[in-house]
Amino acid sequence: MADPARSDVAPSKIEICGVSKRYATDDPDTPLVLDNINLAIGDNEFVTLVGRSGCGKTTLLNIIGGLVESTHGDVKVNGRTVSGPGQGKGMVFQQHALFPWLTALQNVGFGCRNKGVHKAERDQIAHQLIELVGLHGFEDKYPAELSGGMQQRVAIARALATDPEILLMDEPFGALDELTRLEMQDELLRVWSAHKKTVVFVTHSISEALVLSDRVILLAARPGRIRREFPIPFPRPRKRTDPQMIALYDDIWKSLA
């Protein structure tokens, strides 16, 4: 039970079958943004997508999230083809994308309100999640009054509030300073252990991928393809200075070059 289910054992939570993407404005001669991506992600698995800018990792995440339509192929969640955003897929973006006109508490409760959850229950859920991400006392602050790390904590709490099965994170810590970033990684693992989810996490930081995920998917650019996969078998919490981790880091770095 300690290890999350692996894709070859349990049925996959997310199945990406032959997904390709070309933007409508693209010249037909330019390489595809994504070219025939096949990937299965297990239940409660934490997967990171790593690659250089322009390798299509964000596009892939948006396709899984149902925000962008694929040109070919499709994505199945629980065996059903994804037809649009929402429906149990929470998302966290690089620029926190909090609603500036809502307080932290109201931002977290936003998704529940859409589902018609009553205010009392909504506030209770939101309070709990605010507590969970360590923002007790900041419930009534507006995003503009919070620091970058706090904003991203609210964004994570907001994505968790509707209790989605899948959490899609698009470089959520990319805009934070190094110290806050390390802190947020530990924070995310703590939250994840409390609320097990299937997580797809996009990043361009190899060390971030190593600390967080069960599996690193390395994408190549032009056209966007899966270059290699790296399972990370080490138990959490992981030490960033562990020699095995450093060896794996080198391995991934060489594959990137």
Binding site for another protein (CB under 8 A): 65, 67, 84-87, 89-91, 93, 95, 97, 99-102, 110-111, 114-115, 142-145, 158-159, 162, 168
- Sheet containing 89-92: give its strands across: 89-92, 166-170, 198-203, 46-50, 215-220, 225-231
Is residue 31 reached through a cis peptide bond, with omega within 30 degrees of 0 on the bond before it? no
Min. distance of Cβ 229 from another protein in angstroms?
26
- Among candidate residues 198, 223, 214, 202, the one with its CA nearest the CA of residue 248: 214
* Helices of type H across the chain: 57-65, 104-114, 119-132, 148-161, 178-194, 206-212, 243-256
With contact defined as beta carbons under 8 Å apart, do 256 and 65 qualify? Answer: no
Give the shortest CB-215-to-another protein separation in angstroms.
23
Spatial distance between the Cα atoms of 120 and 122, rounded to a whole number of angstroms: 5
The CB-of-6 to another protein minimum distance in angstroms stands at: 27
Closest separation in Å from C-beta 31 to another protein: 25
Least separation in angstroms between CB 86 and another protein: 3
Closest CB 20 distance from another protein, rounded Å: 22
Pairing, β 46-50 against β 198-203: parallel
Nearest residue to 169 via CA among 160, 161, 179: 160
